[in-house]
Amino acid sequence: MIKLIGSVWLMLLLTAAWAQKAAPQVMVLEIRDEIDPRMLRQVKLGLAHAEKIKADYIIIDMDTYGGVLTDAKEIVDLVMAIKKPIWVFINSDAASAGALISIACDSIYMMPGASIGAATVVEGDGQQAPDKYQSYMRSIMRSTAEVNHRDPRIAEGMVDDRIVIDSIKQAGKVITFTTSEALKYGYCEASVTSIEEILKRNKIADYQLHRFQLGATEKIIAFFLNPFISGILILIILGGIYFELQTPGVGFPLFAAITALILYLVPYYLNGLAEYWEIIALFVGILLLLAEIFVIPGFGVAGILGISLTVVAMILIMLNNDFFNFEFVPMGDIVMATFVTMGGICGGVVLLFVGGAKLTETKAFQRMALTDTQESTQGFSVNTTTMGMSGKTGIAHTILRPSGKVSIDEQVYDAFTRGEFIEKGEAIEVIGTEGVTLRVKKIIR
């Protein structure tokens, strides 16, 4: 009797384990935003997660007006490489790059009232991109449709307004199908209202549904891929370096600059935009600038080359170029990257001139730096070698940028300016003292 009961329990456990193992695994991946480097990374991570959980079916929950062509093409390649069935549920719009990704899926399902099409490549200002982009998009749409046994002429008609298709498309318009039209012409398998209905239509029951979500770290990375945030980070990098040079030893401005540089580079590197040579060019540019400031007298080739390398590297890091090959990089992306970089640099320059003087007045700065004056009336004593120096003249013993040394009456003193640079050998005048350091200005002759 005991053996019989044990056998029954064993059979029940094995049956439950088999049922658990046999349950179909379904993963839902959302594409509900612009197709850009952030979305590309999300799709890569989502498909990797599907492989990890051994998903039997993948459903893309689609609602997008499109985005960057190169990122869309990479997503298409990823989708078409999937061996398991991958379906798309268009719950509202699949326009432009969204239409291309949808056509790459094995099956297309649409919500009543949804739409698919309008895949003409446009620039950032909404105008049509040059014909080489349209030709590239037409070829991708055509070949993708052919692979999934859809009419390639219709796919081309979603891009090219010159194509004429009897009873479907007239010249001067691009194809945008409603759900019923997509059903009629083979660009939709069924009109559905939910993902659960898709699974029911395909006779998939007792499934486990997984909805892919980005982790906290990935959300942070996606946040810092925003061009606006990149501009702010560039501003912090420049401002941090400048204020560290103005207040050496404080440490916080330099820490802020290094942190901003890491946050600027890492997301672009992880997303495959920042290549090794671009990062190296950026650091070489920064090193040349530092060498110009601290080592090489005057401002010459090193400084100009350093600025050029730094600016160009920051722009290229944000672009999906193949070693200066911009053939399929939209002009709008190039303009945006240039605008973001130059905006951050200009903002940094404004911050240096406008915010520099106000920095020492903030409570945060006063908590980090010693700003109290140690008066002699309070019992403090100072080195008297700089007392009574106001009004005296001499020459710059070293370059003042803005700190350095000056020579007065054959004596060398530590000195600093109010922000201006003074070359070695130029005439200076003492306009005040701070402790044992002279505050000087350049004498204009």
Please determine, for residue 4, whether its predicted confidence score (pLDDT) is greater than 60. Answer: no
Please determine, for residue 196, whether its predicted confidence score (pLDDT) is greater than 60. Answer: yes
In whole angstroms, give the CA distance from residue 225 to residue 18: 44
Does any domain span residue 5?
no
| Domain endpoint, select from 213, 228, 258 | 213
Please determine, for residue 18, whether its predicted confidence score (pLDDT) is greater than 50. Answer: no
Q: Choose between 316 and 386: higher pLDDT.
A: 316
* Inter-CA distances, 126 with 64, 138, 268, 303, 330, Å: 16, 18, 26, 39, 12
What pLDDT, on a 0 to 100 scale, did the predictor assign at position 69?
Answer: 84
Cα 208–chain centre separation:
34
pLDDT digits (tens, 9 = 90+) for 364-410: 555 545 455 545 554 444 444 666 788 889 999 888 877 888 898 88
Spatial CB neighbours of 223, under 8 Å, sequence gap ≥ 6: 229
Q: Are 118 and 93 in contact (CB under 8 A)?
A: no
Same domain, 166 and 225: no
| Domain endpoint, select from 316, 340, 368 | 368
pLDDT digits (tens, 9 = 90+) for 31-57: 998 888 888 889 999 999 999 999 999
Q: Averaging pLDDT over each range in 25-29, 236-240, 260-264, which range is the top one?
A: 25-29
Is 45 exposed, middle or buried, given 0-12, 13-18 or 19+ CB atoms closer than 10 A? Answer: middle
Same domain, 251 and 302: yes
Is 92 exposed, middle or buried, given 0-12, 13-18 or 19+ CB atoms closer than 10 A? Answer: middle
Same domain, 354 and 420: no
What pLDDT, on a 0 to 100 scale, did the predictor assign at position 279?
Answer: 83
Please determine, for residue 10, whether its predicted confidence score (pLDDT) is greater than 80. Answer: no
Please determine, for residue 360, whether its predicted confidence score (pLDDT) is greater than 60. Answer: no
What pLDDT, on a 0 to 100 scale, did the predictor assign at position 342?
Answer: 79
Does any domain span residue 7?
no
| Residue percentage of the chain with pLDDT more than 90 | 31
Q: How many C-beta atoms lie closer than 10 Å to residue 359's C-beta? A: 17
Q: Per the structure block, which two tokens stand in for 2? A: 């005991």
> Helix (H, G, I), strand (E, B), or coil: what is residue 277?
helix
Range name among 8-17, 172-181, 286-295, 371-380 with the lowest pLDDT average? 371-380
What pLDDT, on a 0 to 100 scale, did the predictor assign at position 1?
Answer: 52
Helices (H), 148-275: 152-157, 179-184, 195-201, 216-224, 227-246, 252-270
Same domain, 225 and 207: no
Same domain, 184 and 100: yes
* Inter-CA distances, 281 with 166, 285, 365, Å: 54, 6, 33
What pLDDT, on a 0 to 100 scale, did the predictor assign at position 385?
Answer: 60
Does any domain span residue 9?
no
pLDDT confidence bin for 27, thresholds 50/70/90: very high
Mean of pLDDT over the chain:
80
> Helix (H, G, I), strand (E, B), or coil: what is residue 172?
coil
Q: Choose between 341 and 147: higher pLDDT.
A: 147
What pLDDT, on a 0 to 100 scale, did the predictor assign at position 377?
Answer: 54
In whole angstroms, give the CA distance from residue 141 to residue 187: 13
Same domain, 297 and 186: no
pLDDT confidence bin for 111, thresholds 50/70/90: very high
Same domain, 60 and 188: yes
Domain of residue 39, residue span: 22-213
| Domain endpoint, select from 213, 235, 256 | 213
Range name among 129-133, 165-169, 187-191, 366-370 with the lowest pLDDT average? 366-370
| pTM score above 0.75 | no
What pLDDT, on a 0 to 100 scale, did the predictor assign at position 232?
Answer: 83
Q: Choose between 123 and 45: higher pLDDT.
A: 45
Average pLDDT over residues 119-133: 76
